[in-house]
Amino acid sequence: MIILDTEWHSKMVRAFAESSHSVTPLCRALMFHELASPDIDHCNRLTLCSFTGPPSEDHCYADIDAAYNFLRKTLNVPAQNIVLYGRSLGSGPSCYLAVKTAQLAKPDAEYAATNGPVGGLILHAPFLSVYRVVIDTGCTLLGDKFPNIDVINMVKSPTILIHGTGDQIVPFHHSERLFDALPKEYRARPLYIEGMSHNNVHSQVRPMFVDRLAEYLEDQVWPNVVVRGRQAITASKARSRIWKIVDTDGPDSEEERVAMGL
């Protein structure tokens, strides 16, 4: 399984734009690559896109498209083995790609032989749209960015929402409304954390955060993961150890590198 991690302050897919030692322990754990590939180190160092000029919504979409296409077309990772993780502004590109992959599905195609919905979607402190963070417009206005509320009903991947009820940057009700707009069959039990704000979920309630994500991956994602040949053994061993790695802040041990497929 591979998780594409998108956040507002970083390259669109941080786990693949930097080396594994420079990303947070949580991201390193979530980078577990069960389809062991000799190209994975190259993937970690990959520069996805080099746009000039000011940041834009289209450039964000192009970045996450580039990362996804590399996984699908170069590493041949099945869509079911990819989970999108979008935090805050990153929820925009993540929703965009989840919907785009859902539209590529071919019901009569051989399992894992073609593109289709990604294996999962994790939305952490997501918003309805950029303008709605400031004022509840009631509709998507001309010039609004990342209108998640307009597209999330087209998602066809198991989706979990994470939000602190005390968030003063992206109001908590944004996640509630996004959850209601999701198709019922793709709603995973959300993690709403009492009193937590926009930036302190990882640091203050880490065990709760990690345990719920582990449960989500176990119940909603792993059953659909495609495992090929001998990698089934490696995947099984790594699956039982992967969450023990999350709280390790030092350099990866050899065991951890094996577990993550590096």
Q: Which residues contact 61 (CB under 8 A, 6 or more apart)?
A: 93, 96, 97
**Domain assignment of residue 100, yes or no:** yes
**Domain assignment of residue 110, yes or no:** no
Contact (Cβ atoms closer than 8 angstroms) between residue 65 and residue 38: no
232 token code pair: 């089934």
Is residue 8 classed as helix, strand or coil in its secondary structure? coil
pLDDT of residue 21: 36
pLDDT of residue 126: 97
pLDDT of residue 178: 98
pLDDT of residue 239: 53
pLDDT of residue 54: 78
Q: Which residue has the tokens 């420079």?
A: 22
**Domain assignment of residue 138, yes or no:** no
DSSP class of 70: I
**Domain assignment of residue 92, yes or no:** yes
Q: What is the CATH number of the domain that holds 161?
A: 3.40.50.1820
Q: What is the dihedral of CA 197, 202, 208, 212, to 10 degrees?
A: 100
d(CA 257, CA 262): 5
**Domain assignment of residue 46, yes or no:** yes
CA dihedral (210, 122, 163, 16) positive or negative: positive
Structural domains of the chain, count? 1
**Domain assignment of residue 220, yes or no:** yes
Q: Could you read off the pLDDT of 92-120 as tens digits, one per residue?
A: 999 999 999 998 866 555 545 557 899 99
pLDDT of residue 182: 98
Q: Which residues of the chain have pLDDT under 70?
A: 1-53, 105-114, 202, 228-262
**Domain assignment of residue 139, yes or no:** no
Indicate the length of the chain as a whole number: 262
Judge residue 52's burial from the number of C-beta atoms within 10 Å of its C-beta, 0-12 exposed, 13-18 middle, 19 or more buried.
Answer: exposed
Catalytic residue set: 88, 167, 198
pLDDT of residue 151: 97
Task: For residue 8, give its domain range.
Answer: 2-104+116-133+145-259
Question: Which residues on neighbouring strands pair with residue 82, listed in sequence order?
Answer: 2
**Domain assignment of residue 217, yes or no:** yes
Contact (Cβ atoms closer than 8 angstroms) between residue 48 and residue 5: no
The structure's pTM equals: 0.74
pLDDT of residue 235: 53
* H/E run at residue 252: none
d(CA 245, CA 168): 31
